[in-house]
Amino acid sequence: MYRTHTCGELRLENAGESISLSGWVQRSRDLGGMTFVDLRDRYGITQLVFNMEENEGLCKQARKLGREFVIQVHGKVTERSNKNSKMTTGDIEIRVNEMNLLKAAEVPPFTIEEESDGGDELRMKYRFLDLRRAPLRKNLELRHKMAQEIRRYFDSEDFLEIETPFLIKSTPEGARDFVVPSRMNEGQFYALPQSPQTFKQLLMVAGYDKYFQIVKCFRDEDLRADRQPEFTQIDCEMSFVERDDVLDTFEGLAKHLFRNILKVEIEGSFPKMSYDQAIEEYGSDKPDIRFEMKIKDLTSIAKGKDFRVFDDSEYIGAICAEGCVGYSRKELDGLTDFVTRPQIGAKGLIYARYNQDGSFKSSVDKFFGTEDLKAWAEELGAKPGDLILVLAGERTPTLKALSELRLEMGTRLGIRNKDVYKPLWIVDFPLLDWDEETGRFHAMHHPFTSPKIEDLDLFESDPGKVRANAYDLVINGVEIGGGSIRIHDEDLQKLMFKNLGFTDEEARNQFGFLMSAFRYGAPPHGGIAFGFDRWVALFAGLDSIRDVIAFPKNNSGRDVMIDSPSDISSEQLDELKLQKKK
């Protein structure tokens, strides 16, 4: 028997027991007559003691143990004289009387402890070593627990978990497909699913009225901290439902996870906010509503005072940073640098200090007198002691920049508390999004999203104004999921494809199977998909989804551990009848 217990298990009540442990040597300390070894496994760390006086040979052997050697020990659990309250096993230690070296190890390229000295790339290359560290282990444990709770919830609600294929045809989620050449069908390719969207809709036509799956999706797009080329969705679909039936069901899932994983009760229903309101007040369709600091439109009151920057702008918007009147010149310059960074793209930052004595001092005093600035303050609900920050320019990018500035100020003011959770639904998204580059509409969500029935008339006259029966779940400024009520009528689906610039033939080629299925009795249906990685990261209090994925890719989409993507042999290329272009 390799072990009777794990390295996280033994407590004071085990004192006196003879036990066996197996694990990795995290570190050893040699104190002359005694050698201490921290033995680690997935469950924790236990201190081993080797005593020169009791067993010289064994103690000498222990001194030779290197980091990450795998050993087995037999010994007696004893109470420690020097207890360590930070360790769950800190009250005891093991007096070792026998040791077997199971496998020696090379010196690891970085320290494998709570904090590591290894850089990102190095830790990615040796991910199997990094995964031995407690923080990563905890993330994977959390991920596992969440997956189990998700299954438990869906099972209790009569959902069926059904797998859908990976070798499919393009699914239109707006990213590039990863493609796989087919050997048996020369010159033809599968696409990996960007989501199981069309399959889950076909399952509804097939009568499986409640479906879910925790599933890999593949999207070939530029990567960021919260994106990976392959990621995991909690994918769901339901039949005979209207929007609020769907929202209620998945609000139930969210509450179940908050309750069972974080022990947090979210009271009442999640608020619903229209897309238009979110953009107007927060500059973003994923507002962080843990704090107010809403954006206010100053366009009408700030224009026409001979200040060229404002007069030439389509939109002037501001936020009020409470209690920040004392911001120094340097801090304000820092904020200007922040908003003028290319990723944010504002032209400059205008500020007005609302001094404690009720007077104002602004960067545009030449153009705006006390009365003007007072009007701004009133609009923003500002009080003496506050700092008003103003951006101007084209409406959409300026709102976006204000959103970033708002989040930055929220962070600086410490009002984005990681232990506070504020979920909300964003609803009534635009159905279509005009793309300047291609000169046509794109589906803002995907082409199977139903327009709101009351907006159908606008399809002919003003398609850009049609609202979608779509919704996103946002928690603390993170988009956790999105979905919609679907089109289940082939004529409406055809109209949608037409508006997206598909010819009848293109639509038939790509999605004929779905349109044909709709002719055989399609129930009204709708669903949602959640970003599982993001949700785990949010619950773990992390910004990057990489830390909650066992084997993630780096920013260039590479797995530096297995060195992929890589070349394939000319034989494989021949077999696939493929030729590389130089």
User: Which residues lie near ligand ASP (CB under 6 A)?
Assistant: 173, 195, 197, 446, 482-484, 527-529
Closer to ligand ASP by Cβ: residue 132 or 445: 445
Angle of CA points 450, 454, 455, to nearest 5° = 70
| Closest distance to ligand ASP from the beta carbon of 197 (Å) | 4
| Closest distance to ligand ASP from the beta carbon of 253 (Å) | 14
Three-state SS for 544?
coil
Closer to ligand ASP by Cβ: residue 211 or 310: 211
Q: How far is 21 from 1, CA to CA, in rounded Å?
A: 10
Q: Which residues pair with 31 in a beta bridge?
A: 34
Residue whose pair of structure tokens reads 């279509």 in the numeric block:
432
Amino acid occupying residue 150: I
Three-state SS for 44?
strand
Q: Where are the alpha helices (DSSP H) in 413-531?
A: 458-461, 490-499, 504-518
Taking alpha carbons only, the member of 405, 407, 424 closest to residue 415 is 407
| Closest distance to ligand ASP from the beta carbon of 529 (Å) | 4
| Closest distance to ligand ASP from the beta carbon of 217 (Å) | 7
| Closest distance to ligand ASP from the beta carbon of 487 (Å) | 12
Cβ(147)–Cβ(159) below 8 Å: no
Closer to ligand ASP by Cβ: residue 139 or 449: 449
Three-state SS for 314?
coil
3-state secondary structure 476-501: CCEEEEEEEEECCCHHHHHHHHHHCC
Three-state SS for 301?
helix
| Closest distance to ligand ASP from the beta carbon of 483 (Å) | 4
**E-assigned strands of 313-413?**
315-321, 350-354, 360-362, 387-393
Question: In angstroms, how far apart are the furthest CA atoms of the chain?
Answer: 93
Q: How far is 360 from 325, CA to CA, in rounded Å?
A: 10
| Closest distance to ligand ASP from the beta carbon of 512 (Å) | 19
Residue whose pair of structure tokens reads 């976006």 in the numeric block:
400
Closer to ligand ASP by Cβ: residue 350 or 517: 517
Closer to ligand ASP by Cβ: residue 429 or 502: 429
Closer to ligand ASP by Cβ: residue 410 or 527: 527
Give the DSSP letter string of 51-100: ETTT-HHHHHHHHTPPTT-EEEEEEEEEE-SS--TTSTTTTEEEEEEEEE
Q: Which residues pair with 234 in a beta bridge?
A: 214, 530
Closer to ligand ASP by Cβ: residue 319 or 500: 500
Closer to ligand ASP by Cβ: residue 295 or 426: 426
Closer to ligand ASP by Cβ: residue 468 or 540: 468
Q: How far is 266 from 103, CA to CA, in rounded Å?
A: 49
| Closest distance to ligand ASP from the beta carbon of 553 (Å) | 19
Q: How far is 557 from 101, CA to CA, in rounded Å?
A: 39
| Closest distance to ligand ASP from the beta carbon of 571 (Å) | 37
Taking alpha carbons only, the member of 89, 28, 82 closest to residue 59 is 28
Cis, peptide link before residue 463, omega less than 30° from 0: no
- Say what angle helices 329-340 and 395-412 make with each other, to 10 degrees: 140
Closer to ligand ASP by Cβ: residue 24 or 429: 429
Q: Which residues pair with 274 in a beta bridge?
A: 427
Taking alpha carbons only, the member of 511, 536, 570, 415 closest to residue 202 is 511
Closer to ligand ASP by Cβ: residue 75 or 527: 527
| Closest distance to ligand ASP from the beta carbon of 104 (Å) | 47
Residue whose pair of structure tokens reads 């995907």 in the numeric block:
446
| Closest distance to ligand ASP from the beta carbon of 539 (Å) | 20
Q: Which residues pair with 471 in a beta bridge?
A: 427, 483
Closer to ligand ASP by Cβ: residue 175 or 332: 175
Q: How far is 450 from 360, CA to CA, in rounded Å?
A: 50
| Closest distance to ligand ASP from the beta carbon of 448 (Å) | 7
| Closest distance to ligand ASP from the beta carbon of 168 (Å) | 13
Closer to ligand ASP by Cβ: residue 173 or 455: 173
